[in-house]
């Protein structure tokens, strides 16, 4: 397309050049009164006509130059921002960073560098080439019959791990459960099952699970790598675990995103006597929260549709 406009522009410039020469020639004949013309006013007409043609040619040249400059700009924008062209650009990430930085400099001059660093390192790190999709948590709270003041929480988590461009990805989770000074090892944690694409890996990954008891907390951590085959980009992860702990020492039910999530859902079942206050943590959109009561107790279903970034989620506080 740009080659087409270039050819047109060259043709117009050539035409205007000959018009300009024609005007100059007429003006010279009239100015120097070349030839023996019987009617003297013809020379005056040639001078005037020549000047008109000269100025018209110059004006048209300037006008067409501006017009074609604008056309070239529009065509260049179309070419640069076309999706098929963007796909061919190898340094698109670098270009994107420069554009974003210029945007920050224009909008937030004094804090532009800090904004750039936070977004690059915290929200859109290239070190994490994966995200979580349709993250569902089903939690059931019961009173622990053997220990007064303690509750038993059974939690089943199911989600899809989407890998865009990575050889392997880390599967990890952790939590800290505080307990009272007279706990006497009543606070416990158990991994009931862990499956990847319906294959039970609970025992093969058992060594990766670390449960450490301090004077005040029970620390649980799990970190293992999943081998990512070239033809497999989606992994369905299912995990079920059971916790027993003192409600007064830990009156919270929460989930904080570890990385980028697309959709998050909580289904909570708990005794009628309990009351929880729902809090949104950092999410820019709206949660759809639906509490209900049945013959067995209370239920709460909360759904977030959209993207959640690191350390966003929800918090339930027992009243």
Please, which pLDDT band fits residue 9 given cuts at 50, 70 and 90?
Answer: very low
pLDDT, residue 111, reads: 58
Mean pLDDT across the stretch 198-204? 86
Give the residue, 152 or 25, on which the prediction is more confident. 152
Domain boundaries, the chain: 2-88, 92-123, 130-318
Instruction: Say if residue 158's pLDDT is above 50.
Output: yes
Averaged pLDDT for residues 207-227 = 90
| DSSP state string for the chain | -HHHHHHHHHHHHHHHHHHHHHHHHHHHHHHHT-S--S-THHHHHHHHHHHHHHHHHHHHHHHHHHHHHHHHHHHHHHHHH-HHHHHH-TTHHHHHHHHHHHHHHHH-GGGHHHHHHHIIIIIS-TT--EEEEEEEEEEEEEE-TTSTTEEEEEEEEEEEEEESS-SEEEEEEEEEEE--TT-TT--EEEEEEEEETTEE-TTTTGGGEEEEE-SSEEEEEEEEEEE--TT--EEEEEEEEEEEEETTT--EEEEE-SS-EEEEEEEEEE-TT--EEEEEES-SS--EEEEEE-SS-EEEEEEEEEEE-TT-EEEEEE-
Average pLDDT over residues 27-41: 57
- What's the pTM? 0.66
CATH code, residues 130-318: 2.60.40
| pLDDT one-digit tens code per residue, 122-153 | 555 556 678 899 999 999 999 999 999 999 99
State pLDDT tens for residues 54-88. 656 565 555 555 555 554 455 555 544 455 544 55
- Residue 190 clears pLDDT 60, i.e. is over it: yes
> How much is the pLDDT for 229?
63
């Amino acid at each position: 397309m740009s080659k087409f406009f270039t050819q047109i522009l060259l043709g117009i410039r050539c035409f205007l050049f000959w018009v300009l020469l024609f005007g100059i020639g007429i003006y010279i004949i009239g100015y120097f009164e070349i030839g023996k013309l019987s009617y003297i006013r013809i020379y005056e007409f040639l001078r005037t006509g020549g000047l008109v043609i000269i100025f018209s040619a110059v004006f048209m040249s300037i006008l067409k130059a501006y017009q074609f400059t604008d056309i070239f700009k529009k065509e260049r924008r179309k070419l640069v921002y076309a999706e098929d062209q963007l796909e061919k650009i190898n340094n698109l990430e670098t270009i994107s960073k420069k554009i974003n930085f210029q945007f920050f400099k224009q909008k937030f001059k004094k804090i532009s560098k800090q904004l750039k660093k936070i977004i690059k390192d915290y929200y859109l790190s290239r070190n994490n080439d994966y995200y979580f999709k349709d993250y569902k948590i089903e939690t059931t709270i019961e009173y622990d019959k053997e220990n007064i003041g303690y509750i038993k929480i059974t939690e089943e988590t199911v989600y899809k791990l989407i890998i865009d461009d990575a050889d392997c990805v880390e599967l990890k989770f952790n939590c800290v459960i505080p307990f009272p000074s007279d706990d006497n090892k009543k606070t416990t944690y158990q991994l009931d099952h862990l499956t990847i694409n319906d294959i039970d890996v609970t025992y093969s990954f058992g060594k990766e699970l670390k449960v450490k008891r301090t004077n005040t907390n029970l620390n649980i951590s799990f970190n293992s790598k999943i081998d990512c085959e070239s033809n497999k980009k989606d992994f369905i992860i299912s995990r079920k675990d059971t916790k027993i702990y003192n409600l007064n020492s830990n009156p919270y039910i929460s989930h904080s995103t570890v990385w980028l999530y697309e959709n998050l859902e909580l289904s909570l079942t708990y005794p009628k006597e309990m009351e929880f206050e729902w809090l949104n943590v950092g999410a820019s959109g709206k949660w759809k929260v639906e509490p209900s009561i049945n013959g067995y107790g209370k239920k709460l279903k909360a759904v977030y549709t959209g993207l959640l970034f690191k350390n966003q989620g929800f918090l339930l506080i027992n009243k």
